[in-house]
Amino acid sequence: MRVSEKTRISADRATVWAWVRDPARYPQFMDGVSRWSVLGDQDTGRGARWDVKLMIGAAPVGGIVEVVEFDEPGDIAWNSVTGVTMRGRWRIRSRPNGLTEVDLRLAYQAPGGLIGLVADRVAQPWVRRSLKRSLRNLQMLVESRPAPQLAERLEPTAATAPAKKSAPAKKSAAKKSTATKSAATKSTATKSTATKSATKRTSAAKKATKAAAPRKRTASAS
């Protein structure tokens, strides 16, 4: 069974995405959700896993699903890992006049062969109404409230600004370090030159002393 419903919301795509990307928000607007919890440390993005339970009529349907597509800020898709075979997708697109079109798709297959197929056909109107209510709930939330935790999500981006400003300081420190090394190198070179000069003077003095010694002996002999 495959069901798809869509609506248009008076908000930009980024604002709608802020609600849809966060699975912790789903119980606030998803109709028939009795459980939608994160498994593991990764809450969203490709590879994230969620424990999902939906009420299809009076029957609970669900299991563990894994996010297989996460294209920010436009698409989220998930497939079931355990439980009932289920696939879902959010598709978010910008439209003229500041509107955003939201498409919610759900496909699942009940077990039981022919009986399961009949159950799917019977449940299809329930699922369609549930998707419509979910989109209507999302629309009311988005149009009446600011994007959830938008400031917190922007913190890492804002935090990078000081780092960029500090780049000149790092360059300055590097220049100072280079200058210090250069000065140290020059000082070492100067000391080395002075040492060599002193060595030459000492060698010259020794030669002069040796040259003067025969003269003294000659003078003594005369």
- What is the rounded distance in angstroms from the CA atom of residue 201 to the CA atom of residue 97? 91
Assess if residue 88 is contained within a domain: yes
173: in domain? no
Domain containing residue 89: 2-160
Domain tally for the chain? 1
| Range with lowest mean pLDDT among 73-82, 102-111, 162-171 | 162-171
Return d(Cα 169, Cα 182) in angstroms, integer: 19
Cα–Cα distance measured from residue 148 to residue 19, given in angstroms and rounded to the nearest whole number: 6
Integer Cα distance of 18 and 73 in angstroms = 9
Report whether 60 contacts 83 (CB < 8 A). no
Domain for residue 177, yes or no? no
Residue 207 has pLDDT above 70, yes or no: no
What does residue 54 show for φ and ψ, rounded to 5 degrees?
Answer: -115, 150
170/149 Cα distance (integer angstroms): 33
Report the DSSP beta bridge partners of residue 52: 36, 63
CATH code: domain of residue 108:
3.30.530.20
Q: For residue 169, how far is the Cα from the chain centroid? A: 27
pLDDT tens column, 104-137: 999 877 665 545 555 566 677 888 999 999 999 9
User: Residue 150 belongs to what H/E stretch?
Assistant: helix 150-165
Neighbours of 81 (CB within 10 A): 13
pLDDT per residue over 37-67, tens digit each?
999 999 999 999 999 998 877 778 889 999 9
Place of tokens 């360059």: 171
The verdict on residue 217 lying in a domain is no
Residue 192 lies in a domain: no
Residue 3 CA to its chain's centroid (Å) = 32
- Let me know if residue 99 belongs to a domain: yes
List b or e across 16-50, with b for residues whose CB sees 16 or more CB atoms inside 10 angstroms.
bbbbbbbbebbeebbbbbeebeeeeeebbeeebbb
Token readout for 216 is 């003294």
* More confident: 98 or 172: 98
pLDDT at position 217 is: 46
pLDDT, tens digit, 9 for 90 and up, residues 106-115: 987 766 554 5
Give CA–CA dist 17/101, Å, rounded.
11
Which value, in Å, is the radius of gyration of the alpha carbons in the chain? 39
Does any domain span residue 74? yes
- Domain-located, residue 8: yes
